[in-house]
Amino acid sequence: MTQPNSRISKAVVPAAGLGTRFLPATKATPKEMLPVVDKPAIQYVVEEAVAAGLSDVLMITGRNKRPLEDHFDRNYELEEALARKGDARRLGQVQEPSDLATMHYVRQGDPRGLGHAVLCAAPHVGDQPFAVLLGDDLIDPRDPLLSRMIGIREREGGSVVALMEVDPSQIHRYGCAAVASTGEPDVVRVTGLVEKPDPSEAPSNLAVIGRYVLDPAVFAVLRETRPGLGDEIQLTDALAELAGDERTGGPVHGVVFRGRRYDTGDRGAYLRAIVRLACEREDLGPEFRDWLRHYVNEEM
């Protein structure tokens, strides 16, 4: 295990998935580029990493993911056109993503699961703890989660996962944690983890949501992790190993998140995320809320 106080500066964002749940929109566009109101989902994730002090972002990509790289790069043609028009506001919007963080990209090649995607980050991350952010979960910036997880890693060492209480009937959609109390509010010790269990076999109703702070010891474990559920190398299985054995890079703690989270992982959740975020926008919200109220009352 590395020293608990090694500074965390790197974020890993797996983005190699095929996005089949959003076809045909994702035939030629990565699902990470789908807009949530007017910003691609992936930009929220990078902004969250940056807000937690992580200025080095490695994206794990694959074929057809070029638009991700373009989004976080300069676009001189567009910038020049907006500058000529004197449209400073839009020019700022175009430049913002490229100024956020130092971006790096590596291709996953074979899509062999989330654990395999994280393993692709090993050469870049090296022997330092790092964060993993999954793009299907957006965390409201007013309810900071990652900085709290980083604080726990710095104090306790090991790895930290984000957990959320879900209705037991929904636990089969997530990794699920068996936990023990630590005495600290909303911080638990993870004693076991199982990927997408049947509700009748789930050890709790605590679901893993897509934020992790990981000890680099996870790489050695992932190299040995056999394909699990769905014949994929599961990050959950590697973390279960770490949770069970202090010597291999544990402990694993969990932070129980009670803030605002927007799921963009399937079509229904994605639509709800857009409506909620649009309602809260200062520029669009007032008019949109009026329209929505009218629509719900009069037309539904």
Q: Which residues bind ligand G1P (CB under 6 A)?
A: 114, 134, 136-137, 174-175, 195, 207-210, 234-236, 265
Smaller CB distance to ligand G1P: residue 82 or 119? 119
Smaller CB distance to ligand G1P: residue 97 or 228? 228
Smaller CB distance to ligand G1P: residue 82 or 114? 114
Taking the complex as a whole, the smallest distance from the CB of residue 202 to ligand G1P amounts, in Å, to 12
Smaller CB distance to ligand G1P: residue 91 or 176? 176
Smaller CB distance to ligand G1P: residue 32 or 137? 137
Taking the complex as a whole, the smallest distance from the CB of residue 218 to ligand G1P amounts, in Å, to 14
Smaller CB distance to ligand G1P: residue 98 or 191? 191
Nearest CA to 100 out of 55, 35, 36 is that of: 55
Taking the complex as a whole, the smallest distance from the CB of residue 49 to ligand G1P amounts, in Å, to 16
Smaller CB distance to ligand G1P: residue 172 or 276? 172
Taking the complex as a whole, the smallest distance from the CB of residue 190 to ligand G1P amounts, in Å, to 12
Nearest CA to 228 out of 275, 265, 195 is that of: 195
Give residue for tokens 């790289």. 69
Q: Which residue is nearest to ligand G1P (CB)?
A: 175
Taking the complex as a whole, the smallest distance from the CB of residue 205 to ligand G1P amounts, in Å, to 13
The three-state (H, E, C) secondary structure of the chain, written as one string: CCCCCCCCCEEEEECCCCCHHHCCCCCCCCHHHCEECCEEHHHHHHHHHHHCCCCEEEEEECCCCHHHHHHCCCCHHHHHHHHHHCCHHHHHHHHHHHHCCEEEEEECCCCCCHHHHHHCCHHHHCCCCEEEECCCEEECCCCCCHHHHHHHHHHHCCEEEEEEECCHHHHHHCEEEEEEECCCCCEEEEEEEEECCCHHHCCCCEEEEEEEEECCHHHHHHHHCCCCHHHCCCHHHHHHHHHHCHHHCCCEEEEECCCCEEECCCHHHHHHHHHHHHHHCCCCHHHHHHHHHHHHHHHC
Taking the complex as a whole, the smallest distance from the CB of residue 91 to ligand G1P amounts, in Å, to 35
Taking the complex as a whole, the smallest distance from the CB of residue 263 to ligand G1P amounts, in Å, to 8
